[in-house]
């Protein structure tokens, strides 16, 4: 399926080659050069860190790399005994690529490159989406923000899967925009494969991918929308085919194809609210708001005060619910 996506990407980009070649004849402005050189410098630093620094983040040590090592040791990707269910039920695409790099090189020297090249892919994908939406060359270069998100840069030099998952989500959005303009097999293969691999890479795709695809679908014409609705079974089948083995393993272990809830996995991995109630839901909403409100702007101290007030109110409210 990765090969299908590469072929589909080449075909989709080839249709716009003439326009891009025309745009390329216009010399870069000073602002465009600054954006390009600045991004190149950032990527160079992140790339060197990825190659010369060993994986050392908590998630990498707890479940990303242990599953790679155990797959290699067992010579199988079947279920194995572990006190950390994340090693067996979480989506495995990024770690599967790490496994190949680990076996080819003989150690973990190259495993960080999965996230690093995913970061580069995110930058290219952001520019491609800007092009699809009618953005100028400067707008495409302005999509540099996709490659300079601080948390993204930090993870891009480690053995994680966030950038890899985001890359496939972004790829799916790009091919949806392509399908709005031209309903052909290449774009359909690209969309279907990207959705399937996004689900196979990180579970957050279930949350973030549907609204983004819906928004991209809505930008098309009425004819394109109806055509894409009729093609919906194709991406659905691709998701099932690409994730069938992982769904089966999760079902075999937990009784659910998604791998949760696992009641005996401990508090760190027990994600379900129990019991489900209106008060508990409201408490979770306010808790999340208190985490997201602080900002670095001049009025931030007011937000910080509100954040602390919300935390205190939440603590009192939760204590009341517990009585």
Q: What is the pLDDT of residues 110-154, one digit of tens each?
A: 999 999 999 999 888 888 888 888 877 777 776 777 777 888 888
User: Cα(42)–Cα(20) distance, rounded to whole angstroms?
Assistant: 25
Q: What is the pLDDT of residues 156-208, one digit of tens each?
A: 888 999 999 999 999 999 999 999 988 888 899 999 999 999 999 998 899 89
Confidence of residue 268 (pLDDT cuts 50, 70, 90): low
Write down the pLDDT at residue 317: 52
User: Cα(313)–Cα(12) distance, rounded to whole angstroms?
Assistant: 53
Task: Report the length, in residues, of the chain.
Answer: 323
Q: What is the pLDDT of residues 197-240, one digit of tens each?
A: 999 999 889 989 999 999 999 988 888 889 888 989 999 999 99
Residue extents of the structural domains in the chain: 2-251, 278-322
Expressed in angstroms, the distance from the first to the final Cα of the chain is 54
User: Cα(22)–Cα(199) distance, rounded to whole angstroms?
Assistant: 37
Q: What angle do CA 68, 171, 114 make, to 5 degrees?
A: 25
pLDDT, mean of residues 28-48: 84
């Amino acid at each position: 399926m990765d090969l299908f996506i590469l072929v589909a990407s080449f075909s989709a980009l080839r249709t716009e080659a003439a326009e891009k070649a025309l745009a390329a004849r216009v010399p870069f402005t000073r602002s465009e050069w600054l954006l390009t050189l600045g991004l190149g410098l950032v990527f160079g630093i992140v790339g060197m860190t990825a190659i010369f620094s060993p994986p050392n983040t908590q998630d990498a040590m707890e479940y990303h790399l242990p599953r790679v090592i155990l797959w290699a040791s067992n010579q199988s990707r079947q279920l194995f005994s572990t006190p950390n269910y994340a090693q067996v039920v979480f989506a495995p695409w990024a770690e599967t690529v790490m496994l190949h790099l680990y076996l080819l090189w003989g150690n973990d020297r190259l495993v960080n490159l999965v996230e690093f090249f995913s970061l580069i892919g995110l930058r290219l994908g952001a520019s491609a989406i800007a092009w699809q939406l009618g953005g100028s060359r400067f707008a495409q270069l302005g999509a540099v923000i996709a490659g300079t998100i601080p948390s993204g840069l930090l993870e891009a030099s480690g053995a994680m899967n966030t950038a890899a998952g985001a890359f496939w989500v972004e790829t799916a959005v790009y091919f949806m925009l392509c399908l709005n303009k031209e309903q052909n097999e290449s774009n359909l293969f690209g969309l279907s494969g990207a959705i399937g691999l996004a689900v196979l890479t990180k579970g957050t795709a279930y949350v973030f991918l549907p609204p983004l695809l819906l928004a991209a679908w809505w930008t098309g014409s009425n004819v394109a929308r109806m055509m894409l609705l009729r093609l919906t079974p194709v991406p659905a089948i691709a998701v099932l085919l690409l994730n069938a083995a992982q769904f089966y393993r999760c079902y075999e272990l937990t009784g659910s194809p998604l791998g949760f809830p696992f009641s005996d996995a401990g508090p760190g991995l027990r994600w379900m609210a129990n019991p489900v109630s209106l008060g508990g839901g409201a408490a979770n909403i306010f808790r999340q708001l208190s985490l997201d409100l602080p900002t670095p702007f001049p009025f931030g101290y007011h937000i910080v005060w509100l954040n602390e007030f919300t935390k205190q109110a939440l603590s009192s409210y939760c204590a009341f619910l517990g009585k």
